[in-house]
């Protein structure tokens, strides 16, 4: 009997330790930590929770004001919860959120006051969702980072909204509201040795920035269903790009131009509504050869102050089934021919126009498209103008009714 009592007493002493071990084991199985609340696995600082987390953990952050610059170097999900988004204040540091691990999610925060709001460096499969990002030089920066999703964020009062640089491929920027940024709303900047590839920019609302969307040295991208309006300079500017698809966007109220293609090839501009800009569609220095071309098709281009379609030093582009209505000039071109330079072909504005609707032409006869031709001679590496005057292209089969 005494032995049984002794064993019972021993078990009673051991019970708290057994209970504690079981509690920790359950927490590890759930892989969940908390910041800003009360109870077990709760932290005061976000960075402390990240430091204790492991790959695959979820960290929930309650509403509050967190004066931190955080580094996410594990594959975790950082999610704000509650009626109000928790605020992460970078207090002027180099970044507010730095992501250095693949397969991370940052969701449902206000992120502000870092030189960079959210910075991704050499990472893959990141999700940045439902955040408000403001008061940074760059709201979101992707540097050599790919296959990531930036969705449903609001970016305002930054130097630049979203910036992709370097070898950043197959990223998607979807459903964001980007406004009142001093620089470009969305800027994609590759370099010739590290061209960006496969960008998707869709369903964004982009307004009151310097430029709406600016893309430099990129290929195989999709820009679709965006509302781009009232930016100070250009709505969408695409420079030194190929195989780009610009589809079904609404682009209006820009001082310089709605859509600019500069040095682009093999690209499609289709189904866009472009109006009340200085110029609607600008195709400049864009050359393609053989059976390949830039295709400008089925766009509604109307009420642009100076030009509906403006073409400058560009060859082998096709303009078809566009509605050109109530523009200062519905279309105009300028080409510069240089005699004596074999690298520059003597084909004055060899573009194709057909089946467009012109509100200033009501005949089935070919519609003349009036432009300007300059002819220079290359003499000892100096160009001397020998003739300048009007030139004509023709829309050989103009449409009599607007395309629906």
Place of tokens 């109006």: 275
User: Does residue 200 register a pLDDT over 80?
Assistant: yes
Structure tokens at 304: 């642009």
Residue 227's pLDDT is what? 98
| pTM of the predicted model as reported, rounded to 2 decimal places | 0.89
Q: By mean pLDDT, which of 7-21, 172-186, 228-242, 363-377 is the weakest? A: 7-21
Residue 286's pLDDT is what? 66
What's the whole-number average pLDDT of the chain? Answer: 89
174 near 203, Cβ under 8 Å? yes
The domains found in the chain, sorted by start residue, are: 49-395 (2.160.20.10)
User: Does residue 61 register a pLDDT over 50?
Assistant: yes
Residue 207's pLDDT is what? 98
Using pLDDT thresholds of 50, 70 and 90, give the confidence band for residue 313. Answer: confident
Using pLDDT thresholds of 50, 70 and 90, give the confidence band for residue 222. Answer: very high
Closest CA to 147 of 194, 100, 199, 195: 199
How far is the C-alpha of 198 from the C-alpha of 139, rounded, in Å? 21
Beta bridge partners of 172: 149, 200
User: Does residue 29 register a pLDDT over 80?
Assistant: no
Residue 145's pLDDT is what? 95
Using pLDDT thresholds of 50, 70 and 90, give the confidence band for residue 48. Answer: very high
Residue 345's pLDDT is what? 56
| Phi, psi torsion values for 76, nearest 5 degrees | -130, 170
Please list, in sequence order, all residues whose beta carbon lies within 8 angstroms of the beta carbon of residue 203, skipping any fewer than 6 positions away.
Answer: 174, 175, 224, 225, 226
Closest CA to 268 of 225, 313, 314, 299: 299
Cβ atoms within 10 Å, residue 100:
14
Residue 289's pLDDT is what? 44
Using pLDDT thresholds of 50, 70 and 90, give the confidence band for residue 19. Answer: very low
Q: Quote the distance between the C-alpha of residue 394 and its chain's center.
A: 36
Residue 340's pLDDT is what? 75
Residue 30's pLDDT is what? 80
CA angle 19, 21, 22 (to 5 degrees): 65
Helix, strand or coil for residue 379?
A: strand
Using pLDDT thresholds of 50, 70 and 90, give the confidence band for residue 326. Answer: very high
Query: pLDDT per residue over 245-264, tens digit each?
Result: 999 999 999 999 999 999 99
Residue 24's pLDDT is what? 28
């Amino acid at each position: 009997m005494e032995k049984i009592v002794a064993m019972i007493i021993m078990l009673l002493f051991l019970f708290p330790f057994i209970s504690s071990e079981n509690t920790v084991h359950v927490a590890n199985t759930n892989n969940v930590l908390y910041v800003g609340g009360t109870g077990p696995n709760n932290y005061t600082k976000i960075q402390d929770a990240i430091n204790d987390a492991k790959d695959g953990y979820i960290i929930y952050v309650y509403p509050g004001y967190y004066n931190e610059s955080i580094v996410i170097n594990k594959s975790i999900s950082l999610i704000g919860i509650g009626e109000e988004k928790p605020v992460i204040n970078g207090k002027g540091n180099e970044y507010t959120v730095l992501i250095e691990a693949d397969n991370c999610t940052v969701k449902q925060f206000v992120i502000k006051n870092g030189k960079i709001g959210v910075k991704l460096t050499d990472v893959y499969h990141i999700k940045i969702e439902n955040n408000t990002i403001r008061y940074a030089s760059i709201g979101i920066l992707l540097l050599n980072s790919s296959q990531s999703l930036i969705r449903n964020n609001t970016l305002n009062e930054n130097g630049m909204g979203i910036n992709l640089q370097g070898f950043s491929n197959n990223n998607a920027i979807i459903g964001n509201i980007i406004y009142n940024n001093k620089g470009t709303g969305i800027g994609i900047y590759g370099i010739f040795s590290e061209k960006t590839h496969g960008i998707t920019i869709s369903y964004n609302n982009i307004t009151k920035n310097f430029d709406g969307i600016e893309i430099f040295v990129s290929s195989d991208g999709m820009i679709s269903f965006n509302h781009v309006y009232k930016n100070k300079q250009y709505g969408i500017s695409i420079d030194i790009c190929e195989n780009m698809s610009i589809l079904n966007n609404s682009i209006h109220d820009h001082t310089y131009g709605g859509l600019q293609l500069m040095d682009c090839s093999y690209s499609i501009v289709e189904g866009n509504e472009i109006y009340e800009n200085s110029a609607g569609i600008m195709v400049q220095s864009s050359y393609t050869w053989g059976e390949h071309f830039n295709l400008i098709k089925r766009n509604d281009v109307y009420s642009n102050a100076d030009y509906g379609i403006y073409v400058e030093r560009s060859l082998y582009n096709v303009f078809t089934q566009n509605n050109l209505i109530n523009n200062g000039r519905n279309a105009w071109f300028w080409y510069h021919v240089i005699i004596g330079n074999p690298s520059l072909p003597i084909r004055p504005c060899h573009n194709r126009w057909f089946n467009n609707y012109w509100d200033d032409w009501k005949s089935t006869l070919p519609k003349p498209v009036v432009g300007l031709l300059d002819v220079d001679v290359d003499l000892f590496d100096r160009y001397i103008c020998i003739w300048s005057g009007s030139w004509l292209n023709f829309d050989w089969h103009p449409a009599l009714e607007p395309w629906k």
